[in-house]
């Protein structure tokens, strides 16, 4: 029987395709469901239209994609998921989770998972993780039920505060997070 994985998709639009490639590899082992932030559900960007991203995610699940607070609120009482992955997790979404601002479908679902004593894997991706948003990474690393996908500086010459997760480690990190273990190392050397 497959574990039920709730996948939260937030900003860092440039990483959506990389995340989708890794999620396709999980299809045989996990039953996927999706929740989008409001911006992901509504905005067309230079990387993809909202409708195209929704279509690609819908192809990986038989469940409707959650795009609003009303549907996200049902996750807690249903207690239907084994694990959650927020990939990518923008600095904005991370801030909401760390500071208890649950006005976003993804953040509200993360709260519901923790309410049900289930783990959440965070795959950060932001141009500001080594800036003012960095404090939130350190906070979430120390929060119960939260695990971090390994990350690295992705463009230190042009964007010295920018970091992204190594999404190729998603499966290994999920397998460990399911067992309440953190994959190591969290901080990686720059990928070539």
Domain ranges of the chain: 3-178
Could you tell me the end-to-end alpha-carbon distance of the chain, in angstroms, rounded to an integer? 37
| Assigned CATH class of 3-178 | alpha beta
Supply 90's token pair: 């923008």
pLDDT per residue over 96-124, tens digit each?
Answer: 999 999 999 999 999 999 999 999 999 99
Predicted structure pTM score: 0.96
State phi, psi for 47 to the nearest 5 degrees. Answer: -95, -30
pLDDT per residue over 25-82, tens digit each?
Answer: 998 899 999 999 999 999 999 999 999 999 999 999 999 999 999 999 999 999 999 9
Burial annotation 157-173 (CB, 10 A radius, 16+ → b, else e): eeeebbbbbbbebbeeb
pLDDT per residue over 122-159, tens digit each?
Answer: 999 999 999 999 999 999 999 999 999 999 999 888 99
């Amino acid at each position: 029987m497959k574990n039920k994985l709730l996948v939260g998709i937030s900003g860092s639009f440039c990483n959506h395709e990389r995340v989708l490639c890794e999620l396709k590899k999980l299809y045989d082992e996990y039953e996927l469901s999706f929740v989008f932030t409001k911006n992901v559900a509504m905005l067309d960007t230079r990387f993809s239209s909202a409708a195209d991203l929704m279509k690609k995610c819908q192809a990986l699940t038989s469940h409707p994609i959650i795009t609003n607070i009303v549907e996200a609120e049902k996750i807690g009482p249903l207690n239907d998921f084994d694990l959650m992955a927020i990939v990518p997790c923008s600095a904005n979404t991370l801030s909401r989770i760390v500071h208890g601002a649950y006005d976003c479908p993804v953040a509200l679902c993360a709260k519901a998972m923790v309410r049900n004593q289930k783990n959440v894997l965070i795959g950060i991706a932001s141009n500001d993780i080594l800036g003012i948003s960095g404090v939130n990474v350190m906070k979430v690393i120390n929060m119960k039920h939260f695990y971090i996908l390994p990350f690295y500086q992705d463009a230190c010459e042009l964007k010295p505060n920018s970091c992204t997760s190594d999404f190729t480690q998603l499966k290994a990190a999920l397998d460990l997070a399911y067992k309440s273990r953190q994959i190591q190392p969290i901080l990686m050397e720059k990928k070539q």
